Structure 1
Amino acid sequence: MTAIERKITRLRSGRPLRVLDLFAGCGGFSLGFQAAGCEIAAAVEFDADAARSHGANFHPGDARHSIARDITTTPASALTASLGLGDASLAFDILIGGPPCQAFARVGRSKLREVAEHPEAFRHDPRARLYIEYMQYVADCMPLAVVIENVPDMLNHAGHNLADEISEVLTGKGYCCGYTLLNAAFYGVPQMRERMFLIAIHSSLTADINFPEPSHWIDLPPGYEGARSVALKLLNGMQLFRPNPWYIQPPVAVPDLPAAITTRQAIEDLPAIDARAQLREGTLRRGARRFDQAVSYAAISVTAYSTMMRNWPGFPGAADLKDHVIRYLPRDYALFARLSPGDQYPQAVKKAEEMFRERLELLKAQGKAPAAGTKAWDKLRASIVPPYDPGKFPNKWRKMEADAPSRTLLAHLGKDGYSHIHYDSAQARTISVREAARLQSFPDGFVFSGTMNPAFKQIGNAVPPLLAKAVARSVQAQIIAGIMQPPVRLAGGQR
């Protein structure tokens, strides 16, 4: 009996699907699959803080799961041996995750199949190493399904449609593949985050790939449609020469679905943080923002979404929060208060210049205004007006709109959080770690290892758990359907 057959037999007895998360981060992908009823058996993550977060949330008390591991030096057999999971070919049913897209692009289409078939020839090539190890895990673990998430540019990266190239290799390994673009806002996440998802299911279980139907609706801003068009440009061009066997049109959301979850619905019940008041009081200072100060929830109405975040099965929120911390940005708090919802960096610079002129007029009335062109004048201006050229950085800042989902959270949020300025001018600040987690759909009981900046990075890099849950349910249903009623096989192996 093959490994695939043994896994199918096991699942027919009612056992849960076991998941291995590669390039796992803190575990957004894992959390979604766990919420769908899967067992998170193991993860591989290189970043130490993210690995500790994953271990603390999915295997509390077992230090083996909190160890940072490098996939290039950790073969599947070593991973399962270190975790007591036995034979790698039998340990996992689903492999999820996705290496950085550069790991695929640097190999190139002409080499991908050769790498897959003869990996030793390229094992010492740093351009191919992550791709080699990823595909080696597929070969060694023989999963029933593989699920990959990545940025939309994976469909048009340096002249490559990497999703096509991966699908070609996985098809050669016996999988039925399909990929599409999904926006998190259509799946109950209060964030307009567009990502590519690729699902590969062993061909003994299915002849078609399906993606989850949307649960919510929003009329996405034009910028998202433009970004999608750029991502699909290479694919659409190739469609003129041959139909694509793997690309699937995204499921369509319709206006009669519930409206997308808004930023206000997601975070309004969290405690207010008056940044300017904290600055005056001296409680907000420069330095690492640790999670050692507890604050209570706000006494305000709780939405259905925030109730879900407070009461996620297995991750209930406590009576207070310890990661509701913000960046130290003393120059800009007053400017944040002046911005209107939707304002970006050009509007911010314009209003900062107004503030600078107002300060000069005030100092002039007091007889203290510095002369233009002096060091004192330059210093005063620098204390009010941000230094970047608005023509070069038009999207560097954005004040969020309360009654719309947030824009995409990025990994560098801890170092450049101006993309998510809180909609409440009275608070006049960028969002906190816990607010970012809410916008990504992490429950309040999910803990992040490290200090503020590592936590922001983990959140920005994660797959939104609610989107992951929708994908997981779809994959799970397709596997179970295949187990119960395998596709009819015709002569010659056709279906």
Structure 2
Amino acid sequence: MKKKLNFIDLFSGAGGLSEGFIRQGFNAIAHVEIDKAACNTLLTRTAYHYLNSRNEKEDYLNYLRREISRDELYSLLPETLMNSVINKPIGSETNQGIFEQIDKLKGEKDIDLIVGGPPCQAYSLIGRAADKNGMKEDDRNHLYVQYGEYLKKYQPKLFVFENVLGLLSAKSKTGEKYIDKMLKLFRKIGYETEFKTLNANDFGVLQKRKRVILIGRRGKKIDFYPEFLKKETTITVNEIFKGLPKLKAGKGEFYITPYTKETSEYLQSSKVQNGIDFTTQHIARPHNEQDKEIYRIAINKWDKKKERLNYNDLPNRLKTHKNRKSFTDRFKVVADELSSCHTVVAHIAKDGHYYIHPDIKQNRSITPREAARLQSFPDDYFFEGVSDKPSRTAAFKQIGNAVPPLLAEEIAIEIKKII
């Protein structure tokens, strides 16, 4: 039997990157994440993988059915797995403690791979535009240096570093591009690093989501970056809504939502539907009458003319935002007849105006489950809150920040070949 390849996930978020690697047989030694809600999600998913590996998946489903509590679910995990999710910020003051915890978890095992990408706000074009200093003084700009400390400590064969397109143009106070600073640092540590921009839509994700994926390899060998094959598809975004009951604004359930009879080959092949007869977190935001009127205008404009709503074209009585020059497309329909949706981002946690459901009769923004499907998360993936009470806002934030599991799995396939 082949030995499992071991990895550490830094800045883990809700675990989309890990999910893809675990599907390809990699073993997660540790996840390190600052956000408590995301850590709870990681623990819940760890419980899923552990119980599923022991043919005890029913215990996990009992949690989704609310037949056992979250504490009871976690009590089924070995202590090592409970300790494998490390809820700490990565930095010079905390790294030593994190190293000690990871060392206990890994024992004599080697770390074959490190994955993860620091928070993207400091590199994002939107973040830089909104900040008077262009995010040049944001401490998160330098988290790649901390990433380097983990490369020094564990000397993995490879690493995968994911971030937004803005990384390629973001500059430090001295005017040097951060991408160039990263490549220099990683080379100094002993890694040649290559990168490309990958679009999740090319890997079966029904979303336009371009990300910079850096792959570093220990040693001096170059030209090792995989040649990813794009997946040609005729699938449309409508697939993500199949099997989910229709909802009005403010309706739905955090827990059991039985499927309708509708399904599709895509939902099966993408592992979105994976053998159970219900899902969770299909719960819609409530909306006021003004927003619902704007949603109807936006949907009608798309349905009849295939045109996006410009905020300035609304009747004056519906225009309450003072900013009329930027973000004029702040109300946007998820066009279900296209092959990809616009990018799902963490702002969806604040309002749903940028992700309006295409069905005018439902007249609402999309639910966390619909957003998770756009990110290719399976329907049994549960996004936790800080407490044991679920939070729609926390779920949206984690989903918007995540790496799509389908994209992650394709990367994992190629990384396995290189190793």
Residues 129 and 406 of structure 1, relative CA distance in 2, 3 Å threshold: closer
Equivalent of 2:155 in 142, 155, 160: 142
- Counterpart of 1:9? none
Matched, 1:93 2:112: yes
Corresponding position: 1:291 with 2:248: no
Work out whether 1:264 is the aligned partner of 2:238. Answer: yes
For 1:325-336, list aligned pairs within 5 A. 325-330=283-288, 331-336=290-295
Aligned to 1:306: 267
Change (3 A) 1:104 1:297: closer
Q: Pick from 302, 326, 347: which aligns with 1:392?
A: 326
Instruction: Give the equivalent residue in structure 1 for 2:297.
Output: 338
In the alignment, which residue of structure 2 is the partner of 1:78?
100
CA positional deviation for 1:131 = 3.5
2:145 corresponds to 1:132: yes
Instruction: Give the match's secondary structure for 1:41.
Output: strand
Segment drifting more, 36-45 vs 405-414: 36-45
1:106-152 deviations in Å (ceiling 9; x for gaps): xxxxxxxxxxxxxxxxxxx9577633321111100110001100001
Note the 1:342-353 alignment, pairs <5 A: 343-346=307-310, 350=313, 352-353=314-315
Match of residue 429 from structure 1: 364
CA deviation map 1:148-181 (0-9, x unaligned): 0000110100354323321222222222321011
* Cα distance change, pair 428–386 in 1 and its aligned pair in 2 (3 A): farther
**Kept after mapping to 1: 8 A contact 2:197/2:212:** yes
TM-fit CA distance, 1:328 = 1.8
Q: CA deviation at 1:476?
A: 1.2
What amino acid is the match of 2:9?
D
Q: 1:453 aligns with which of 375, 393, 415?
A: 393
Work out whether 1:155 is the aligned partner of 2:183: no
**Structure 1 residue 386: Cα displacement:** 4.2
CA gap of 1:419–1:211, structure 2 versus 1, over 3 A, is: farther
Looking at structure 1, the residues matched to 197 and 291 of structure 2 have their Cα atoms a distance apart, in angstroms, of 36
**Alpha-carbon distance in structure 2 between the residues aligned to 1:344 and 1:274:** 23
SS in 2 for 1:332: helix
Counterparts of 1:95 and 1:86, CA distance in 2: 17
**Residue pair 2:203, 2:230 contacting (<8 A) in 1 also:** yes
Contact 1:413–1:457 under 8 Å retained in 2:
yes
User: Of 402, 406, 410, which aligns to 1:466?
Assistant: 406
Shift of 1:104: 8.7
The aligned residue for residue 403 of structure 1 is 337
Give structure 2 stretches of 5+ with no counterpart.
49-76, 125-137, 386-390
Equivalents in 2 of 1:181, 1:196: separation in Å? 4
Q: Structure 1 residues 127, 35: CA separation in 2 closer, same or farther (over 3 Å shift)?
A: closer
Deviation at 1:101, TM superposition (A): 5.4
Structure 1 Cα separation of the partners of residues 321 and 154 of structure 2: 52
Deviation at 1:435, TM superposition (A): 0.4
Contact 2:272–2:377 under 8 Å retained in 1: no
Q: Give the 3-state SS of the residue equivalent to 1:438 in structure 2.
A: helix
TM-score, scaled to structure 2: 0.78
1:52 counterpart = 2:40: yes
Letter of the 1:268 partner, please give it: K
Matched, 1:213 2:228: yes
Larger radius of gyration: 1
Q: Which amino acid aligns with 2:118?
A: P
Q: Is the 8 A contact 1:327 1:414 kept in 2?
A: no
Q: Counterpart in 1 of 2:61?
A: none
- Determine the structure 1 residue equivalent to 2:277: 319
Q: What's the secondary structure of 1:14's corresponding residue? A: coil
Deviation at 1:344, TM superposition (A): 3.9
Question: What runs of 5+ residues in structure 1 fail to find an aligned partner?
Answer: 1-12, 106-124, 217-256, 285-289, 357-380, 480-495
Does structure 2 conserve the Cα–Cα contact (< 8 Å) formed by 1:421 and 1:429? yes
Question: Contact 1:265 / 1:306 at 8 angstroms: preserved in 2?
Answer: yes
> Secondary structure in 1 aligned to 2:353?
helix
**Partner residue in 1 for 2:348:** 413
Alpha-carbon distance between aligned partners in 2 of 1:130 and 1:310, rounded to the nearest angstrom: 33
Q: Aligned partner of 1:420: which letter?
A: Y
The separation in 2 between residues aligned to 1:104 and 1:394, in whole angstroms, is 23
Contact 2:123 2:167 in 1 (8 A): no
TM-aligned CA distance change 1:156 to 1:310, over 3 Å: closer
**Matched residue of 1:198: which SS?**
strand
* Number of equivalenced pairs: 357
User: With structure 1 as the length reference, what TM-score do the two structures score?
Assistant: 0.66
SS in 2 for 1:477: helix
SS at match of 1:84: helix
Map Cα deviations across residues 442-473 of structure 1 (whole Å, 9 max, x no partner).
01111110111111110110111111111111
Name the structure where helix makes up a greater proportion of residues.
1
What CA distance in whole angstroms lies between the structure 2 residues aligned with 1:390 and 1:104?
25
Q: In the aligned structure 2, how far is the partner of 1:208 from the partner of 1:310?
A: 32
Contact 1:178 1:198 in 2 (8 A): yes
What do residues 40-95 of structure 1 show as CA deviations (whole Å, max 9, x unaligned)?
Answer: 221100000001111211245243234512222143522314x53226xx542100
What CA distance in whole angstroms lies between the structure 1 residues aligned with 2:324 and 2:275? 41
Shift of 1:31: 0.7
